[in-house]
Structure 1
Amino acid sequence: MSGAGTPAVQTAGAPRGRIDKRRAIVDAAFTVFAREGYAQAGVDVIAAEAGVAKATVYNHFGDKETLLRQTIADHSDRALARNMAAVERLTGDGPDLRAMLEEVGGQLLRCYVDDASWALRRLLSAEIGQFPDLIDIVQGRAADRVLQALADRLGRLSLAGRLRTADPLLAAEHLSALLTGTMDTRARLGTRPLPDAELTAMTRAAVDTFLRAFAAEPVAPGPPPD
């Protein structure tokens, strides 16, 4: 069942032992849902993967649908933390704007292509037809917040005279698209590992194009790929 009557995602605190069991269940659910799909994923299989009793899963989450939503929410939160750690490195302090954007852009790109992120996107794509609200969980808890944080940093650079944009959110959308736009095809939806050199080259090309559009002053082309 899905739609307006869906249960709220849990956020309340809990004692340490309960949190540890909950984390184990969520991790196991993510593995099983990603491997078998929601319809084929049995709660007994998830419980065995987590090393807990089947009743424990129901005690924590109530039903399998709630568990799916909580699993998506938790892994969105983890993706948010990884991406925000990268965005926070984008400051106005560094003398070399290109190098700073390449460092941050490279970290964001590597977040996009890590195993957990691919698994989350594949799971979302597989189940969104039955549970269309899952995209709202991912967007609200991770993607939109990362994009807004990136826009805030780019806006600060614009105010400092280092970038030229009247719409930092649009600039952030452009940078994100330049970094990740070809990754699904290049990585075959995560089934083809991407060499680090390829990721570095893609980051440099993305930043070079971004600076040509948004730098406050004309910029020289970046170095050619190694």
Structure 2
Amino acid sequence: MSDDSTTAPEDGSGQSQEGSRWRRRKRPGPRRAEGMPTGPIEVRRAVIDAAAQLFCRDGVAEVTLRAVAQRARVNLGLISRYVGSRDDLVRATFADLSDKLTAEVRADPTAARGFGSDSVMVCWTRILSHLVVVDPETAIELGRAPMEDLVAAAQDVYGQSEPAARLRVAQLMGSAMGWRLFEPFLMEAAGLDPDSIDDIRAELLGVHRRLAAQPLPSPPDPPERPGAGRGSAEGPVS
């Protein structure tokens, strides 16, 4: 009787080639650590969030891509694959924070924007301070949206004309961003009590709201006390 069964050729080691191929296919790869992001969307999200935290804490110029990858728990090469260069990462992070800040403004236009080190407003301001120096066109392109929403809020909430709303928003944002960048210096140099920081911030927010509601033209300057500004014929200049 003839035997119709076939035997797979051996590979010289006494094992069939088919069996060797099967074993190679079944060999498991390195196990991914629990919680590591997977796929383009998760990786990009993790990288941008990590970059925002590090840029905000250490400053844009001090942060390396390797540090971002470690914080995001991703392979370093995935940053260039899913985000791009370091400059691309800075722009993507600022664009993401601009979207978040715009959403906050739309949800509650007159709410206090956070002063905490990890708040959207603080991180947005710190990255903006870098971009306005190295890439001002991108700073304007990506940072305009929150400003435009604040202009609309000044018109809707306080009844400002468009020219007045634009000027007031520029004024209050200049003050707000300056305070968030330089708060430690301002507190120390002005001799302010650090235990009163919450009251000082609340007062600043009140000043901003009153400024946003102040129509044009502004009231006249307050009169100077007699003898003030003796060091200059024109008095002190702010």
Q: TM-score range by the shorter chain?
A: 0.5 to 0.7
Q: When the two structures are superposed, what TM-score results if normalisation uses the length of structure 1?
A: 0.59
The whole-number CA distance in structure 1 between the counterparts of 2:177 and 2:211 is 20
Q: Of 168, 173, 183, which residue of structure 2 is paired with 1:174? A: 168
Structure whose CA Rg is larger: 2
Partner of 2:85: 63
1:74: how far off? 0.4
Closer, same or farther in 2 for the Cα pair 1:211/1:150, shift >3 Å? Answer: closer
Contact in 1 for aligned 2:48/2:92 (Cα 8 Å): yes
The structure with higher relative contact order (CA 8 Å, sep 6+) is 1
The whole-number CA distance in structure 2 between the counterparts of 1:142 and 1:208 is 19
Closer, same or farther in 2 for the Cα pair 1:31/1:208, shift >3 Å? Answer: closer
Deviations 1:59-115 (A, max 9, x none): 10121111111011001111111121112xxxxxxxxxxxxxxxx3xx1xx216343
Contact in 2 for aligned 1:124/1:135 (Cα 8 Å): yes
1:135: how far off? 1.6
Closer, same or farther in 2 for the Cα pair 1:169/1:138, shift >3 Å? Answer: farther
1:200: how far off? 3.4
Where structure 1 has 5 or more consecutive residues not aligned to the other structure, the ranges are 1-15, 88-103, 159-164, 215-226
Partner of 2:9: none
Where structure 2 has 5 or more consecutive residues not aligned to the other structure, the ranges are 1-37, 188-193, 217-238
Contact in 2 for aligned 1:151/1:169 (Cα 8 Å): no
User: Within 5 A, what are the aligned runs for 1:184-199?
Assistant: 189-191=182-184, 195-199=197-201
1:143 has 2:152 as partner: no
Contact in 2 for aligned 1:118/1:189 (Cα 8 Å): no
1:121 has 2:125 as partner: yes
Partner of 1:44: 66
Q: When the two structures are superposed, what TM-score results if normalisation uses the length of structure 2?
A: 0.56
Question: CA RMSD for the aligned pairs?
Answer: 3.3
Partner of 1:72: 94
Closer, same or farther in 2 for the Cα pair 1:17/1:183, shift >3 Å? Answer: same
